[in-house]
Amino acid sequence: MSPCSACGLPFDCESWITLAKSTGALDQHTYLCPRCSLGRTDVGARESLLEEYRTRMHRGHTSAALEEDHAGFPVTADARSQYGNRQRRLRDLEKVLHFIDKQTPEILHVGCGQGEFTRDVAATVSCKVMGLEPVSLWNRQATDNGINTIAHPLEQWRLGDSPRCFDVIVEHHLLEHLHDPRTHLRCVAARLAPGGIALIEVPNLLESHQTLEGEFLRPFHENVFTPRGLATLCRKAGLEPFHALLGTDLRIVCRRSEVGETRQVFPGPDSQSVAQAAWSNDLRISLKRGLATKGTTTQMLTLAKRVHSGCSWPAGRADIAIEVAVAFEKTEQLSEACSWLRRSLRDRNDPEVRLLLRKIESVHRRRKVATATSMPAIAFEMGQRVIHPFHRAVN
């Protein structure tokens, strides 16, 4: 494997952290750089995988997970949530435009696909917008959608041929697919007008609602990002990050760096902590799915105890305990729910969890003295709770 795209550390399978190693037919390995936490997936047959991905996306299929449902499964991006995603991206862009002192800014949407978001921008923002989409079947669709579209990859759109620069360059879920993300970001920096801003969005390993294998780590994603890894990569490409929006999708806002490309690694959680957080999130999601499917059976509880005690990452153990508490609360077994919440608090003193524990303890005490028929039904917040473990754990 090539050296780390962000910090330049040479690959070494002894010191790089193996995040996941598929034993299936694909032979897919994902490693984290021990210096900056940028992840790299090494997989053969990349071109055929990319072709399959493009065909699938063109048919309207996408497996982008926007959130996690009550049973621990990713909520996939159906047409409605894709629309919601585009609305959120428009709000991101509007925030960025506050930094641009220009009446009609010029915006470039790199990897515009079939042009849906680009069309939304043209319809809602006072600007001149154009798209860039090298995949011909998407490019044709974007042109049919009325988007002024360039058919080259950014890297092959030579600056000398076309000296045009942009006030805002925006791209969504593109960088993780590229073999050379640093060269791509250098081209982004070169295309920024003075004072211009780049808005880069990628999937965030640290706030995933998916398990690693088969869900988050897809073979057509060559790069795996944490906030620290992406910010370091931007610096290495001559961009200076000055704002980050965290979530399932990580968005980093950059200007062209005044000091050029630097090797400075951005501060953040170390790579071992990132890996521990990702592995314990896998355990949490798998357990949540099992509990939602099979309920709090004796067999599942034995498994839950084993998973909980086998998890070496305290923040991950705290979240696993919350999942078991939620399963008990759903079946009205309040004493057990309280017991698991106390276990969670032993690993992480979370005021939100402490408050929930007090609420459930209070209801449990009242139930002990009241008859079941006189007790009004109380809906706890816990059943609705969506856990964002990494936000609290390491971000």
Does 4 interact with Zn ion (rule: CB under 5 A)? yes
CB nearer Zn ion, residue 9 or residue 193: 9
Phi, psi of 203 (to 5 degrees): -65, 145
**Cα–Cα distance list, 61 to 53, 57, 98, 298, 356 (Å):** 9, 5, 34, 39, 39
CB nearer Zn ion, residue 38 or residue 230: 38
Closest distance of CB 267 from Zn ion, Å = 14
- Kindly indicate which of the ranges 30-38, 51-59, 90-98, 268-276 contains the residues binding Zn ion, using the contact rule CB under 5 A: 30-38
CB nearer Zn ion, residue 209 or residue 235: 235
**Cα–Cα distance list, 248 to 80, 159, 283, 380, 387 (Å):** 18, 34, 18, 25, 12
In DSSP notation, 180-243 reads -HHHHHHHHHHTEEEEEEEEEEEEBGGG-SS-TBTTTB-TT--EEB-HHHHHHHHHHTTEEEEE
Closest distance of CB 34 from Zn ion, Å = 8
Contacts of 83 (CB under 8 A, 6+ apart): none
Residues 113/175, Cβ–Cβ less than 8 Å: no
Beta strands in the chain, from DSSP E residues, in sequence order: 17-21, 29-32, 39-42, 65-68, 74-76, 106-110, 128-132, 149-150, 166-172, 192-203, 223-224, 239-245, 249-256
Q: Using CB under 5 A, which residues numbered 33 to 62 contact Zn ion?
A: 33, 35-36, 38
CB nearer Zn ion, residue 139 or residue 223: 223
Residue 162 burial (10 A CB sphere; 0-12, 13-18, 19+):
exposed
- Kindly indicate which of the ranges 17-25, 28-36, 200-208, 274-282 contains the residues binding Zn ion, using the contact rule CB under 5 A: 28-36
**Residue entry with tokens 């524990």:** 357
- Kindly indicate which of the ranges 2-10, 94-102, 217-225, 310-318 contains the residues binding Zn ion, using the contact rule CB under 5 A: 2-10
Closest distance of CB 19 from Zn ion, Å = 13
CB nearer Zn ion, residue 85 or residue 276: 276
CB nearer Zn ion, residue 4 or residue 322: 4
**Which string of x and - marks every residue 8-27 that binds Zn ion (by CB under 5 A)?**
-x------------------
Residues 29/212, Cβ–Cβ less than 8 Å: no
CB nearer Zn ion, residue 33 or residue 107: 33
- Kindly indicate which of the ranges 3-11, 166-174, 183-191, 210-218 contains the residues binding Zn ion, using the contact rule CB under 5 A: 3-11
- Kindly indicate which of the ranges 18-26, 31-39, 147-155, 210-218 contains the residues binding Zn ion, using the contact rule CB under 5 A: 31-39
Does 7 interact with Zn ion (rule: CB under 5 A)? yes
Closest distance of CB 229 from Zn ion, Å = 7
The footprint of Zn ion (CB under 5 A) covers 4, 6-7, 9, 33, 35-36, 38
